[in-house]
Structure 1
Amino acid sequence: MAGLSCADALREEGHEPALFDKARGPGGRMSTRRCDSPLGTIAFDHGASHFTARGAAFRQLVSEWHTQGVVAPWPVAGRDAWVGTPGMNAPIKAMAERHPVTWNCPIAGVTHDGRHWWCRGQDRPFGPFDAVVIAVPVEQALPLISLHDFQMARLAMTVGSQPCWAGMFAFAEPLDIGPDMIRHIGPIGWAVRNSAKPGRTGPEAWVVQGSADWSAAHLEEDADRIATLLLDGLAHATGLTLPTPVVRMAHRWRYATPSGCFANALWNPALQIGMCGDWLAHGFVEQAWQSGRALAGEMLGLAQDDGAMGIARRG
């Protein structure tokens, strides 16, 4: 979200950003996992269950997404809660379509030749570029920035991330569970009936995310074991004897919830390198979007508004 938000703002001013992502496709925190099953293809929003829109600029963007049909309100999670449709990654896909994105392309490092920046891919370098934006989890950003701006790296080192295990379960028949969302019971941080969200089709599907403390305590355990524990947690939270799921799997988010920083983005105007992302902005979708816009505004010399928390500048 942050990287695409920054790219959108730069493109609006006539620039042509190139984006590189190690993932197979758009998603990040708003990922949707799809899998085949005897009941057909089943989708799970195994990252963020929803997002909120409170600032004026982001509300305007969400309204445009709503008109395009890529988001819908979801009052189950709150008055101002939204979900992507037909999956959480739908608005991210819509944003990515406006840019040249190279997927399946991890960047191992960035170098400056005195005039331009180059990004080192697995097979070849990409460039030359006038500026570099690093929009990845803080733990992955550190090795990219540390050789170029020690002060930025030192700030990033003060931010940590908590992990989260996500269990994904599908059932042949609807479960007799009243609420579509369950929070903070036993190992569960939250559990969501994914199939009840707007725009979803298919059988009964649940995403069960472990709490931060529970996920940290079980961080290195086998995914199959985690799926069993989270399914047991759902049974305990609902008081039901659950049927055997037709789909049962778990995904580990090693860098799920960042602690946040004091700035909305970091920028070195002398070197033309900066960082944005939800790790600077306490891990929420709207704040990640604001972080990208704030960094783009600094790169372009534009004033920021709509709740941006400020920029830490170097150089």
Structure 2
Amino acid sequence: MDTGRLPRCYRHPDRDTGISCTRCERPICPECMISASVGFQCPECVREGSGTGHRPAANAPRNLAGGVVAADPQLVTKILIGINVAVFFVALIAPAVVIQLELLGRYREFPGAPIEGISTGQYHRLLTSVFLHVEWWHLVGNMLGLWFIGGPLEAALGRARYLAVYLLSGLGGSALVYLLTPSNTPTLGASGAIFGLLGATVVLARRLRYEMRPVIVMVVLMLVLTFVPFGGALSISWQAHVGGLITGAVLGLAMLWPVTGRNRALVQWGTCAVVFVLAASVILLRTAELTELT
């Protein structure tokens, strides 16, 4: 008998898990677990215990981060993929839109044209660039990463918290790119936000006491691909990856920290506010630096 293998979720036989329902003791994965007063319960036990009547939101099933369990636990991930794909086709049909959406700190479109970029107040570029891809293989690679990393994380965090991690990780990666790269270097792609989801996934795996080696190997491999050039065909922004990874890990700690009651939401959303203020401070610092060069 192999005692080294974790049991598998009774609803998702392809997923190993170390968590069991406190009522029926069936193994449940992060997508299925619902926070109870003591431990976690499976969806069937929650339904049996609550009956068929309507329950107030305060008593609704909760996920690992304290959010309400959604009917479709991967809805936000699907919407984010849809937005990325839609922006790709817009850029394909109207290539001129790319230069208006990509991350550029300070540039002239042609000699004699006015200076444009984030330093002139076009702060939308910090997030629009996160949804922009101009090569199909770049889009496909990032969307596969978003689906496989983001789907399980959304189920564990809930929609609002998951979306906050995604957007703030993208912003954190863009802020570091803006700070550390030449101002006329165009940057685009969702990889900074996806690295943020990866950072939060490391925290989630630790919180659930999963085997950490596969997760650590994945992080190391992705960082190696970030810093080690392979043929020089793809220019990778390590600043976006590192900025997103750190931001996502910090937010993951805040979202999954074992705090109960009102303090839990305070820690979660307070950390989001602090991360936003820090990113905004970096952005404004770099903008002031570039403005002085005028």
Instruction: Specify the TM-score bucket, using the shorter chain as the normaliser.
Output: under 0.3
RCO greater where, 1 or 2, for CA within 8 Å and sep 6 or more?
1
Normalising by the residue count of structure 1, what TM-score does the alignment of the two structures yield? 0.22
Normalising by the residue count of structure 2, what TM-score does the alignment of the two structures yield? 0.23
Q: Which has the higher helix share?
A: 2
